[in-house]
């Protein structure tokens, strides 16, 4: 029995391009982001995946990416479950700020700590640890059982919400996951064993 989980980070957003902290804000995709989403869909279509169910966040850049992917895969009438548990990390007071401006305001070292530490959140926001504390219970309750039942499940979400999933699936330490870059529009394909552990992982 095939048990497949496919993770995709949304295509480049307008705020990715402008070097802004995004979090729970809702910028659209750039032209490059649209192309990345379409390319991800084409890549999965070429591999002949028969998607059973899709999950995405409550944020429009992830939803738009998923819509474009399904269009390229010629999939219609797909069940899509949208939940804010899969939202990007909430950057709180940093949201909407240029990263260089944030460094001028709080200092390079402090901004680096907020961005790259596992459990220190920015003011009014979430750390990666906080993000994992909402992503992982949702994954175990809603997504993992669908995969274990023999499904092919597609999850389109965000850099940090996907980091939380990758950390869990690949049994990475906080230090290891902070070094892991999740590229926009690059599908990560996990084949899972019956117990939910990873049998193999490939990147398209």
Catalytic residue set: 10, 88
Q: Cα separation of 118 and 128, whole Å?
A: 5
Residue whose structure tokens are 């992830």: 62
Q: Cα separation of 31 and 47, whole Å?
A: 25
Grouping H, G, I as helix, E, B as strand and the rest as coil, residue 98 is: strand
* Contact criterion met (CB below 8 Å) for 203 and 187: yes
Token pair belonging to 40: 């991800």
Token pair belonging to 142: 């809603």
From the number of C-beta atoms within 10 Å of its C-beta (0-12, 13-18, 19+), residue 98 rates as middle
Longest dimension (CA), the chain: 54
In terms of DSSP bridges, do strands 152-157 and 53-56 run parallel, antiparallel, or are they unpaired?
Answer: parallel
In terms of DSSP bridges, do strands 198-203 and 53-56 run parallel, antiparallel, or are they unpaired?
Answer: unpaired
């Amino acid at each position: 029995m095939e048990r497949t989980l496919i993770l995709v980070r949304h295509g480049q957003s307008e705020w990715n391009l402008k070097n802004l902290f995004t979090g729970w804000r809702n910028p659209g995709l750039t032209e490059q982001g649209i192309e990345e989403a379409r390319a991800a869909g084409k890549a999965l279509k070429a591999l002949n995946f028969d998607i059973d169910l899709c999950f995405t966040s409550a944020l429009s850049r992830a939803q738009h990416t998923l819509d474009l992917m399904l269009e390229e895969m010629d999939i219609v009438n797909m069940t899509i479950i949208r939940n804010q548990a899969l939202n990007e990390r909430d950057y709180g007071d940093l949201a909407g700020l240029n990263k260089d401006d944030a460094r001028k305001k709080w200092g390079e070292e402090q901004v680096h700590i907020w961005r790259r530490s596992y459990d220190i959140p920015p003011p009014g926001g979430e750390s990666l640890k906080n993000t994992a504390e909402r992503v992982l219970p949702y994954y175990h309750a809603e997504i993992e059982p669908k995969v274990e039942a023999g499904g092919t499940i597609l999850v389109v979400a965000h850099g940090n919400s996907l980091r939380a999933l990758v950390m869990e699936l690949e049994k990475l330490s906080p230090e290891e996951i902070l070094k892991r870059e999740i590229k926009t529009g690059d599908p990560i394909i996990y084949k899972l064993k019956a117990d939910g552990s990873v049998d193999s992982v490939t990147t398209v």
